[in-house]
Structure 1
């Protein structure tokens, strides 16, 4: 039988990133948290936490944390159908989600906030590249994810949300400086590009489609969707931007497309762990409704 009290301590350590912060949220001492984790690791026969700054879960630890999250959702369902089991003080259920930064900066936030304003949840949002958010779901770190991967991990469902349109854009001065003789292999190899992080392949994908070969791009790394746009408008580099995020800049001429009529459409999917949870289903409905109004229809 699983020790759910200890599993809740494990989840707190992973969520807070340290034994000390977990102890404060649980109103116990750090030594009590440490003892709980040690006994739990002894019972499962392996490490559950990689001690560090921050502390992170091992693969087994992540799966146990996901199990705890699912159990909390199921307990919420049970309490709603059997009120006598409810607690005197209403509790909010942690709901860990992974989403790409561009979605978070545009359409996902309205979906999340409208849902969380009315639901007894505490949203825990992890941000990663859309090609990698499914890994968070696969590892058990989150219960749902916005991803560019159509195939859902085992034990999860996948629904198409639509496509986000990206445009390669830069400031007029930057285009004049680096692309006055056209956008091609030679000029792209010299012009600084912008990427979100080392996982961001959008710029490289657009270049391969334009030039029909790989080009090593000089890159600035900026892990912020809004800083990405601001840096491009200031002439720092060129990059692939969500059209809905830069349309005002295009209208005012502070950003221009490198090559007009060459959008890159990225299909997005909503994947979630299979669960009979009205909370997760409610978030799903909110995500799909907002995506339908902000994303391009799926091909």
Structure 2
């Protein structure tokens, strides 16, 4: 294998098609195809699934991670040597939607002052972002599962506190009084979830003995999720930092006092000795300071 072949693999996976990779590298699609075939011949494995978008195979993921690291280090070496314009380095990251909608935003403001870096964010549930890191799709990930990823370091950021909330009208329809106490009909009140991998609400319900899960509306946007809760579509666990004045203005009610769930967050990132990665990590930690990390 050679670096031009690895560069082709990186472009195909990042851009999604052989044609888009050719545009990115300013070569013909046939040249990209030849480089990928030569790479597969040299390693004896298929490295790219010819789907739309193209994805790396298990063997390709090993090479993809190496290709991304070499590309970043090559850019920084050119910069250090002063041999012409080193160009911009791409830093793909995995971030969960609630983080991106709340505490992570100062990272974007910091990155606006980095003319030598291009960020490419991928949204993924915080329980699964480290999978992207392991495959070499990203250089860093905000994750709730600090599993060991070879070649990476894990740093605690803090925790997002989620409050169980509902619109007052919805809550009134699904509560009853027993002995002067309000009983929530958890098994009947519709619930909101972010996506198919979002199990936070289900865990909350099971902890309250609900095994037959109620109707669940899927809202794949943090901002729309909050609005759906305000509209009374269902109850949900909403980041405390995102609720703002909702409890005070009466549009949302915290269903269970002291019933919050704290989801720990970690920053997992390559141990590569890259100045750009270190700068990014510093920005992530500054932004996460309100989460109360160590």
TM class by shorter chain equals over 0.9
Tell me whether 1:37 sits opposite 2:36 in the alignment.
Answer: yes
1:140-155 matched pairs, under 5 angstroms: 140-155=136-151
Q: 2:187, 2:210 within 8 Å by CA — same for their partners in 1?
A: no
Count of equivalent residues: 290
* 1:130 partner SS: coil
Q: Residue 64 of structure 1 aligns with which residue?
A: 63
Determine if the alignment matches structure 1 residue 275 to structure 2 residue 277: no
Deviation at 1:238, TM superposition (A): 1.0
Partner of 2:218: 221
* CA offset digits 1:196-239 (Å, max 9, x no partner): 11111111222233x15644232111211111111111111111
Contact 2:13-2:56 at 8 Å conserved across structures: yes
Cα distance in 2 for residues equivalent to 1:124 and 1:63: 20
Distance 2:153 2:11 in 1: 27
SS in structure 2 at match of 1:188? coil
Q: Which residue of 1 aligns with 2:202?
A: 204
Q: Secondary structure at the match of 2:272?
A: coil
Greater shift after overlay, 152-161 or 214-223?
A: 214-223
Q: Separation in 1 of the partners of 2:43 and 2:211?
A: 47
TM-score by length of 1: 0.91
Alpha-carbon separation, structure 2, partners of 1:153 and 1:215: 36
Residue 236 in 1 paired to residue 233 in 2?
yes
* Deviations 1:70-90, CA, capped at 9 Å, x for gaps: 11222233233322xx33x34
Structure 2 equivalent of residue 21 of structure 1: 20
1:255-276, Cα deviation, whole Å (9 max, x unpaired): 1111122111111000111111
Q: Normalising by structure 2, what TM-score?
A: 0.92
User: 2-side partners of 1:90 and 1:79: how far apart?
Assistant: 5
- Structure 1 gaps of 5+ residues are none
With 164-173 and 26-35 compared, the bigger mean Cα shift is at 26-35
1:99 to 95, 98, 101: 95
